[in-house]
Amino acid sequence: MTTLPYVSGFSAHTPANVLTNKDLEAFVDTNDEWIRTRTGIHERRKAPDGVANADLAAEAARGALALSGCPAESITHIVVVTCSPDVLCPSTACQVAGRLGLRARVAIDVNAACTGFVSGLDVARGFLATQKKARVLLIASETLSRFCDWADRTTCVLFGDGAGAVILSNEAIQPGGLHARLHDVRHAADGSGGDLLHFGGRYTNPGSITPSDVFGKEYFIQMNGREVFKHAVRSMTEACQEVLHDNNLTIADIDLFVPHQANLRIIEAVGSRLNVKPEQLFINLQKYGNTSAASIPIALAEAREEGRLKPGAKVLLTSFGGGFTWGAALLIFDE
Ligand code: ACO
């Protein structure tokens, strides 16, 4: 029987720079009341010029190493999940390795948009299944503010920057320390929804780009919010139901439900379909907006700070993102 992976070091790093809804009113046709009532977001963090996605990732990683008690030199794999890298090459994982002075066996990026952290848990689980001594530094880091058209009120009010990290291993790094076991993780994709949420270039006509081109609107986030909303609610609900069923649990057994923090109305819709009680739900999107793949590990780090990652706690995670991609995972903390 294979060991269930240990997950520890729940850490996050967000830029200090706060952009409130009121700040946005100064340069885009929106208002605090619309953003709060339609999304639940009050403010978000924005990486200042000169701060890279890889900088946020490295800070979150330092936190995870310190909290888990994992010596940096014992890390064998660095997996960064991101859909907003600073550059396409080198990978953000290699840049983190450079910043931390690590020489890992593997340093790769994974892109599953907002589902990235859930997918990253499965990628890490795969490495651990084949390599007993592996220690995986899993980081989710995003700077989506750099892909926002700050004149487009339908998207720019939604997103924020930040990073979160955990360490996965086949043994307890700090026996007696705070760690969970990864009991289940699953993720899915349906590429037919790709046109409903995309950014980063003219992917329908990439051959026409020349070095003298300036960014076109396709570089910035293009989203059909209403369609994404419907798919997100349905897919996250189903993924959670599957994980609960297959682990002989009901929602009443879950101590903490941590959904992707995209929109309060999506979270409430999923919560009501699953019968999640308010005391089971973790919400922090009012402070950070949608930080894509980083939203779940940022939430987990805050839940740790608030003492909500308790020994014995059963934690259900779920996410949905561009692609479309979606998934769910079950963490159970050791007693
Ligand atoms: N301020 C003021 N008015 C606005 C704003 C704004 N920021 N944005 C849109 N409006 C207006 C629209 O122009 C529209 O006006 P009209 O009726 O005169 O045409 C009206 O508000 C309603 O617009 P809708 O788009 O219908 O608003 P909706 O209630 O659907 O909310 C939202 C939009 C917040 C985008 C919602 O659809 C949503 O959250 N969708 C899901 C997004 C998501 O979850 N993404 C996750 C994946 S992200 C990733 O993977 C990177």
With left for phi above 0 and alpha for psi between -120 and 50, is residue 289 left, alpha or beta?
A: left
pLDDT at 1 exceeding the cut of 60: no
Ligand 1 neighbours (beta carbon < 6 A): 30, 34-35, 38-39, 113-114, 153-154, 157, 197, 225-226, 228-229, 232, 262-263, 266, 290, 292, 321-322
For the chain, the farthest-separated pair of C-alpha atoms sits apart, in whole angstroms, at 59
Atom from ligand 1 closest to the CA of residue 199 = 51
Residue 210 located in a structural domain: no
| Residue 193: per-residue pLDDT | 92
The enclosing domain of 260 has a CATH number of 3.40.47.10
Residue 206 located in a structural domain: no
**Digit-coded pLDDT (tens) for 112-136:** 999 999 999 999 999 999 999 999 9
Catalytic residue among 114, 148, 156, 240: 114
Are both 133 and 116 inside the same structural domain?
A: yes
Across residues 42-54, what is the average pLDDT? 98
Ligand 1, atom 39: closest residue by C-alpha: 263
Are both 143 and 193 inside the same structural domain?
A: no
Across residues 296-324, what is the average pLDDT? 97
Residue 38 located in a structural domain: yes
154 Cα to the center of ligand 1, angstroms: 5
| Residue 217: per-residue pLDDT | 83
| Residue 204: per-residue pLDDT | 59
Neighbouring residues of 111: CB distance < 8 A, sequence distance ≥ 6: 81, 82, 83
Residue 208 located in a structural domain: no
* DSSP string covering 106-126: EEEEE--GGGHHHHHHHHHHH
Read off the tokens for 113.
Answer: 């948009």
Neighbouring residues of 91: CB distance < 8 A, sequence distance ≥ 6: 80, 85, 107, 108, 109
Q: Which is it for strands 325-333 and 6-13: parallel, antiparallel or unpaired?
A: unpaired
Are both 135 and 81 inside the same structural domain?
A: yes
Long-range contacts of 266-269 (CB under 8 A, 24+ apart): 266/229, 266/232, 266/233, 266/236, 266/320, 267/40, 269/233
Are both 316 and 232 inside the same structural domain?
A: yes
Instruction: Note down the domain range covering 292.
Output: 180-201+215-333
Are both 155 and 257 inside the same structural domain?
A: no
Across residues 247-275, what is the average pLDDT? 98
pLDDT at 212 exceeding the cut of 80: no
Across residues 75-99, what is the average pLDDT? 97
Are both 133 and 227 inside the same structural domain?
A: no
| Residue 202: per-residue pLDDT | 65
Is 156 an active-site residue? no
Are both 131 and 193 inside the same structural domain?
A: no
| Structural domains counted in the chain | 2
